[in-house]
Each structure stands twice: as structure tokens, then as C-alpha cells.
A = this chain, B = another copy of it.
């Protein structure tokens, strides 16, 4: 007999108890991106050995909020939306490895455990946080329209401390949703040895990219960013020195797996 089943832990007789079902994982949601430049040394300080700064615009940072609905292949979670919806805030930089340029998520916070587990599988270094983003509306006075002059806010907190606030004032439609998070991801997967004096049990570089990407119309605008320090965080070291732009769009995508690079 093959024992209990499950894509991740906990394994159980029917395989239903796993913290997350197996891929494919489908995503549909709203994505707000604020891109800015920091001192490239701040980016370099986040890259592992053998990974270098991007050649062009090496100090570019994307601070991204997303409000997702997600599901596995069966779609069953969609009718029990507590298991389907989550929000996240993440920080992406670019880097080079083996002659290729990649996007790389260096910090990320989510508000559900299934999303956290997917991240640990994919090399997104997820922690829990409280994430909020203004929704554009089409009726009523309680929200901006997707139109020039519309203003969207987004906030991140963890451990009862505010970590980031942004606001984005839309100026018009856009061809793109930003360039920092537009490349295949280069992520580290890492698990220390159960005896902490030994070398890590899992220490990999992996790459992945979304499948079946479906994009709604993109909007761009001007953004302001404030980062706040906290005892168990270092995101505020990525101090903005020059704004690039902000973006908002709806995104659909599917994740089916990645590949190990090193």
C-alpha cells in the first residue's frame, strides 16, 4: 500500500486534507503595481550568490498588491470562497542568472494558509499579513472609476504594524502593467536541515512562469510610496529614490509547475 495521500502535508487517507490541492492552480484577480528605483545596492543585498543585478535599470523595484480568486483544477473552492479568495502584497526585483534576466520575488505577505503553502512550494517567501487595496467601482460614490483622475490606495501590515502605503492616481490607459514583474521568476526554495548545524536539506534555484495568461485593459498613473520599518522586517531598506510608474489591471493565469535550475 502506498500510504496516505496529498500534494503537500498533511497527508491523509483520501488526500483531501493537504493544505493545498495539487496544481493546476488558476488565478483571476485585480493587480495594482507601483514601480520605483532604489539604490541598486539595496537590490544586490537581496540576491543569493551566483545571482547578479539586471544590466538595465538594476535598482528597479515593483511593489505589487493583488486581490485574487483562485482554485485548483476542479474549481470546487470557488463555491466555498473562504478557500478561494486571498490578498497578497509582494516585492519584485530583477536579476541575472546563467546569462538570463529574471524577475524575483524578495518579500511577500498573504492572508490565507493555502496561499502561504503555495508560496513555500514555489519559492515565494510568504509570510502572513493584512493586505487591502481600493477597488474601482462602476456604480455609486464609494470608489474611483477606471478613468483619468481615479485614485487607488493600497496598504500592508504584519504583526499589527503598518509596513507600506501607496496611492496611485490614474492618468490613462497603458500598453503594459509594468516591466519588473514581467519576466520568468527566479526563486530560491529552502528548508534548513532538521539538525540546524548541518547544511540545508533543500536549497534550490527554480524558475516558473504563468500559463494561459489573460489580461484585462491596463491603466497607468503616478504613484506615491511610503515604507515603514518593523522589528522583524527589512522591506523598508528598499528605499525609493525615484518613481517609475503605477499600474492597475485584471489578470488571469494558471500555474502548472516550474523547473529546477540549480
Contact (Cβ within 8 A) B194 A154: no
Contact (Cβ within 8 A) A141 B49: no
State whether the Cβ of A99 lies closer than 8 Å to any Cβ in chain B.
no
State whether the Cβ of A101 lies closer than 8 Å to any Cβ in chain B.
no
One of B26, B121, B137, B234 near A194 (C-beta < 8 A): B121
> Copies of this chain, how many?
4
Report chain B residues within 8 Å CB of A17: 107, 232-235
Contact (Cβ within 8 A) B81 A234: no
8 A-B residue pairs with Cβ-Cβ distance under 8 Å, sorted by A, are A10-B127, A11-B46, A16-B233, A82-B132, A83-B232, A84-B134, A137-B250, A195-B260
Shortest CB-to-CB span from A53 to chain B, Å, is: 13
Report chain B residues within 8 Å CB of A33: none
Give me 11 other A-B pairs in contact (C-beta within 8 A), A28-B142, A189-B191 excluded: A4-B45, A4-B48, A12-B46, A28-B137, A28-B140, A28-B141, A69-B134, A71-B142, A75-B142, A84-B142, A140-B253
Contact (Cβ within 8 A) A204 B212: no
State whether the Cβ of A244 lies closer than 8 Å to any Cβ in chain B.
no
One of B82, B133, B193, B260 near A160 (C-beta < 8 A): B82
Report chain B residues within 8 Å CB of A9: 120, 123, 125-126, 188, 190
Report chain B residues within 8 Å CB of A144: 78
Contact (Cβ within 8 A) A206 B232: no
Report chain B residues within 8 Å CB of A233: 16-17
Shortest CB-to-CB span from A32 to chain B, Å, is: 11
Size class of the A contact interface (CB-based, 8 Å): 35 or more
Chain A 141-156, CB-CB to B under 8 Å as 1, else 0, gives 1111000000111110
Which of A76, A78, A153, A254 lies at the interface centre, i.e. has the most chain B CB atoms within 10 A of its CB? Answer: A78
Contact (Cβ within 8 A) B7 A137: no
Report chain B residues within 8 Å CB of A135: 69, 81, 85
Complex Cα gap A218–B108 (Å): 37
Report chain B residues within 8 Å CB of A241: none
State whether the Cβ of A245 lies closer than 8 Å to any Cβ in chain B.
no
Contact (Cβ within 8 A) A160 B130: yes
